[in-house]
Amino acid sequence: MINLLPLEEKQKLSLKNKEKLIVVLGIVFIVSLVCFILVLLSIKFYILARTDYQKNILEQAEKKYQTSEFTDLNNVVQKYNVTLAQINSFYKKEIYFNQALKIITDVPTPKGLYLTYFLLNKDKNGIIQVSVSGISNNRENLLIFRKNIEEVKEIKNSYFSPESWANPKDVSFSLTFEIK
């Protein structure tokens, strides 16, 4: 086919073709935008419906579990949880008294020396700090006891208070040491 149209007509036809193409592309864009909006709206309504359903289920569960029996049971469980936490804390800080007391009681004590007070504490490193008080009928027995304590390998850093050595008879003494 031979195109015998003048240049102006050719440009007008080309311009009309471009306008038609722009209109068609605009319509396709607007239609796809409307479809996208409709899809988003449907998703929104679906989510709203699901949340309403979940809210209803939650309200029913709350009504079911707001009875006096359930709240009483919940309070009892909370009380036991607090008690179990305290017991757990105690076990973490526990001191093996039987081993510490065995070490202390295995130290030979001379006749006339009596232990009257024990205090055992456990520090963060697991070392048991012991404070002991007692009475001795004389200073020589206290010296023998000090020598016996220093011979025990588990006992470290033994320290007698200076007041323990003040009286030659009827001595009240206090002693601190560590057990590892």
- Top pLDDT among 116 and 123 is at 116
Q: Is the pLDDT of residue 1 over 60?
A: no
The alpha-carbon radius of gyration of the chain (Å, integer) is: 46
pLDDT, tens digit (0-9, with 9 covering 90-100), for 155-169? 888 888 888 888 888
Q: Percent of the chain having pLDDT more than 90?
A: 26
Give the model confidence (pLDDT) of 10-31 as tens digits.
899 899 999 999 999 999 999 9
For tokens 């009309």, the residue is: 16
Cα–Cα distance list, 27 to 15, 36, 64, 110, 163 (Å): 18, 14, 55, 111, 105
Structure tokens at 41: 């709206």
Residue 71 pLDDT class (50, 70, 90 cuts): confident
Arithmetic mean of pLDDT over the chain:
86
